Amino acid sequence: MAWLVGIADDCMIDLSATHWVMALAYESIFYCQSYFHHKIT
């Protein structure tokens, strides 16, 4: 998750965009986890 912190530091000018990107990343992670979990089981 260190790279997300780096992105946040680089995008301090536009906090709303950073928040949107981070939220999208978290949703993608949870979606992939649930997708592969159902695919394995």
Per-residue confidence in pLDDT tens, the chain, 41 aa: 566 666 656 655 566 777 788 888 999 988 888 888 877 76
Task: Measure CA 10 to chain center.
Answer: 16
Q: Are 4 and 22 in contact (CB under 8 A)?
A: yes
Q: 33 to each of 3, 6, 11, 37, how far by Cα in Å?
A: 20, 24, 27, 6
Tell me, what's the pLDDT at 15? 64
**Residue 25: domain span:** 2-40
What's the whole-model pTM score? Answer: 0.42
Domain count for the chain:
1
CA 12 to chain centre: 17
Q: Which residues have a Cβ under 8 Å from the Cβ of 17 and sit 6 or more positions away? A: 11
Question: What's residue 21's pLDDT?
Answer: 84
